[in-house]
Amino acid sequence: MRNRYPYNTHPATSPPPTDYLALTKLYVQTARELGHPSLINTIIDRVTDTSNLDISQTQDCARTVMVPLAAFLGSSNSGSGLPSRFGHLQQEGLKLYLDWLSTHSDELTEDRAVSLLDAALACGNADVFMKSVWPRLEGINLTGTGLRLLAQHLASRRDKLVFSQGAAGPSVQSIIDTLAKRATLGSCVSVASVSDIMATLHWCTKIMCAPNLCNGVIERLLSPSVIKGNYIARVLVPLLPELKNWGIQNKQNVDYAVQKIVGLWVKRVLGGALPAKTLAKSNQVAALAGKWTCECVPCSSARTFLVESDQKRVILRDIGVPAREHVEAFLSTHADGLATCDKLNKSPQSLQIIKSDALNRIASWRANQEKGVALLKSLSTDENELRTILGPEYARVKAALAGQAAAPPATTPRMGANSSMPSASGSTKAGPPSKKRKYMT
């Protein structure tokens, strides 16, 4: 059959989109190689001529061509000086870029953050960034990721920046601290796991933030709004060894936080002193091994269940009537009030032993007590050092682990920047912060 459409035998395909940035860089490089750097000004004028574009296209041009081109020219001038029209490209591109960012604040990726800073800090000159870019950035509601990217990459350029003589305004470090504060003290950063918390603290020290910023992160994870459910046992207690080591490595005093976490654990997880009746039952359990001396299998199983197991009930299966009555006699003599027992009528008979509520509380408390001892050992095996770390909480914690009442905890200063109390690591303790923290300016 004859082809009715001889000139359209294959479906039409669109040409690949033009990479305008790559093409513009090629023109710039060609002008340099031909010894006509002045042509770069013509290229800049063509790139910045957006008269035929709508607002969206203009902002897209700034984001994908103008700002990256400014970054490219600023980093590749090879000592020959920037084109005379570079300032126009830089100012126009950054203005339009920030217009776009103000409505797309959640789209600031690492590549875009790097491009923005390279264009604004061309040749290490910080004047444009400080006068034109930072005042705009400060008012944009960036995500936590965007804030961290800007703070991190600004910090990496900090030592290479130059300022005009007599330049006024905030310092670069104060801007880094402001970005980092917004990125770490709000809902932007998670404190839901040990890894999240430590990653944030390591990040803060990496970019050399003001010390009270790290204190603010620690205060946030200790705030009542965060400490809910099993957060103390699930997050704060496992955090203690890593937090202490981080404090030592970075000469940051975390003794207050350690004391607060241990105190919270004692109050909400271990609980207060055992009531006198419960303590008497505890002593009764401890004495079972010396009084209940029968070593037959049913008696050994029942005694082990009462003394060591954290289960609430056990069934001694198919032990028969004589063994059942034998165990019941020992229970009545030595474990009165500790448990009840029920015979299960079948052949041969079985015996179910159920712990009393008081004994269950003791078992739960003993399990937490063991965790508490392990918690203190994770901080230090040296008792003198432990006394220094725990400070006013030491006596209360020790009394609580012994099942005894203790005086209420002493009031300890909050973390901040004004105290000089020595810590176990040899650093100085941060004192109480004011409601408004002052950052470096």
Mean pLDDT by 10 residues, the chain (441 residues): 48 66 93 90 95 94 95 76 92 96 95 94 89 94 92 89 70 89 76 90 84 83 84 92 92 90 88 70 80 92 88 92 93 88 87 88 82 90 92 88 65 44 41 37 30
Measured in residues, the chain has a length of 441
What does pTM read for this prediction? 0.68
- pLDDT score, position 441: 30
Exposure of 236 by Cβ count < 10 A (0-12 exposed, 13-18 middle, 19+ buried)? buried
* 8 Å CB contact between 358 and 279: no
| Cα separation of the two ends of the chain | 83
pLDDT at residue number 86: 94
pLDDT at residue 1 in the model: 45
Strand partners, 354: 313, 340
Architecture of domain 276-355: 2-Layer Sandwich (3.30)
What count of other Cβ atoms lies within 10 Å of the Cβ of residue 34?
9
Domain assignments of the chain as residue spans, ordered by start: 20-189, 227-272+360-441, 276-355
